[in-house]
Structure 1
Amino acid sequence: MMNWRWAQYFLAVAAAVAPLLGVFFWGWNAREVVLLYWIENIIIGFWQLMKMGAVGVGKVKDVGWFFVPGMLFTMAFFTIHYGGFCAGHGVFVLEMTNSGVAGSGAEGIDMKGLKFYLGPLLFVQLLFMVVGQAWAALPVASIWSVAAIFAMRGLGFVQDFILTGDWKRAEFQKLMFEPYKSIIALHVAIVFGAGLTLAFKGAWPVLAIIVVGKLVMDFTQIRKQEIEQGN
């Protein structure tokens, strides 16, 4: 099996370049660094949906098209509960790092546009609102980090799920809750990092430590998958 693990390590480093340059040379603040890493939660959710879609294709081949409605319902349910989880955390991060706390000159999330008649879909709307505001707050250079993170996660999807044949064996129920373990750790790290930078008034050494710490987390996760796959 072709091993693209080296490319994941490379992309993890590439994802850290923009925030490191931002911290040292471009005056990035705590809000910008923290929101960049919050965006990764959305990327994780996207690739998790791709896993479900891959499993669904295999199931359709095995048991027929009657599996499709259940598959679509499960994917929609995942989008709502995972999206709601990330949206709630995003609101917390935006409020925690707003102008009154972080001195970033930005505002917290505006809830006035929420359509409460949407019911559970309210969480999806809230997620789009938070993503839009987070993206607007990010510096232009952060797009390179977002692209590197997206590619790194995508390579993990191919290397550890498609090429290993896990897409033929995985179960929808397990896939629904699989990302929570990793994103809860990421959420805790984000909140801790934000609190630390605020406590030290956004000092650049603290921001740099957060970026390097995130890189260590990525390396650890990639290495863990490497060991589990025996390559």
Structure 2
Amino acid sequence: MNSNKKIIKAPSWFVRVMTPMLARIVAREMVKKYPGLGADEIMARMRAESNPTDEAGRRMLDAVALRLPASSAPEAKPDAVISWRSPSSLALIAANLLPLYGVLVFGWPVFPLLLLFWLENVVVGTFNALRMLLADPADLALWASKLFMVPFFCFHYGMFTAIHGSFVVSLFGGKAYGRLDRGFVPVEGAMRAIADFDLGPALAMLAGSHAFSFLWNYLIRGEFRRASPSELMGQPYKRVVVLHVAILLGGAVTMALDSPLWALVFLIALKIGFDLRAHLKEHAQPVS
């Protein structure tokens, strides 16, 4: 006896909503299934295995392709991997050399350097919130989690950064700056130091470096398609903890030595090294 099977198709709006989310899951599983292969090789195998004939299937494969890392192989293509010669890396190095100019020309002591590095943390947090907000914008279901995670990150990271800044201003700013703020947010002391040491151009350069990296790596190179807000939430903390523990310890030693030139130059070089290493690691391993 023949039985007619009725195929129920999902509404088109439901398919559009679910495709990005499912594509993210499939892309993650394909990377695990084919370790060492790049996006082109993985997609070739997927097309050979599935060979979809309908429009929905082809759209799903296209969505998966957008969310695969450019290359997960150890020997990646030169244009798929960030190196120290990449535009964003060179911009980072150039921006970090401006504090050296302040030390050599304006005679900056250790406090404005540490304050500048702390202010950069605020810039890092701002762009990280933008990264979280723009992560895989085609995934409509992901926006529901962003409504919670982005404000929570802004609050938590803001508190963390404020406490960190209060230590920088109170410990290294001395009476001239450390006693200007009654709360734990060092707004007045930081603003006074920015004006006194003319930190505006250096801060603008550092902010410009992060803005360029955001545009070049995250938007133009398409990292936003593979980004996960939950993983992005923890990225700035790694930078702050590793980098600034070393910087604060180095700053304390430098201050104890009465800020000799060689110690200040070493402090800047240490910061550039940590920054560049973190930058290369972050963009060499696309967030999934």
**Bucket of the pairwise TM-score, normalised by the shorter protein:** 0.7 to 0.9
User: Out of 90, 108, 116, which is 1:10 matched to?
Assistant: 90
Structure 2 equivalent of residue 25 of structure 1: 105
- Unaligned runs of at least 5 residues, structure 1: 115-125
Q: CA deviation at 1:194?
A: 1.8
Counterpart mapping for 1:154-169 below 5 A: 154-169=211-226
Counterpart amino acid of residue 54 in structure 1: L
The DSSP-based 3-state class of the residue aligned with 2:259 is: coil
User: Out of 51, 64, 71, which is 2:131 matched to?
Assistant: 51
Structure 2 equivalent of residue 123 of structure 1: none
Does residue 150 (structure 1) correspond to residue 150 (structure 2)? The answer is no
Contact 2:81-2:284 at 8 Å conserved across structures: no
Contact 1:58-1:167 at 8 Å conserved across structures: no
Does residue 41 (structure 1) correspond to residue 121 (structure 2)? The answer is yes
Q: CA deviation at 1:80?
A: 0.9
Q: CA deviation at 1:76?
A: 1.1
Deviations 1:133-188 (A, max 9, x none): 32331256422222222222223223333334332333322222122111211221
How many corresponding residue pairs?
205
Distance 1:183 1:135, change over 3 A: same
Report the TM-score when normalising by structure 1.
0.75
Distance 1:87 1:164, change over 3 A: same
User: Aligned equivalents of 2:173 and 2:249: distance in 1?
Assistant: 16
Structure 2 equivalent of residue 83 of structure 1: 158
Greater relative contact order: 1 or 2 (C-alpha under 8 angstroms, separation 6 or more)? 1
Q: Larger deviation: 129-138 or 175-184? A: 129-138
Larger Rg, first or second structure (1 or 2): 2
User: Aligned equivalents of 2:271 and 2:228: distance in 1?
Assistant: 30
Does residue 134 (structure 1) correspond to residue 134 (structure 2)? The answer is no
Does residue 98 (structure 1) correspond to residue 173 (structure 2)? The answer is yes
Distance 1:79 1:47, change over 3 A: same
Does residue 224 (structure 1) correspond to residue 281 (structure 2)? The answer is yes
Structure with higher helix content: 1
Counterpart amino acid of residue 161 in structure 2: C
Structure 1 equivalent of residue 264 of structure 2: 207
User: Aligned equivalents of 1:132 and 1:2: distance in 2?
Assistant: 44
User: Aligned equivalents of 1:228 and 1:183: distance in 2?
Assistant: 19
Return structure 1 stretches of 4+ with deviation > 6 angstroms. 1-4
Deviations 1:28-86 (A, max 9, x none): 111111100111111110111111111273333xx49xx45x42332111111111111
Structure 2 equivalent of residue 121 of structure 1: none
Q: CA deviation at 1:227?
A: 4.3
User: Aligned equivalents of 1:49 and 1:131: distance in 2?
Assistant: 21
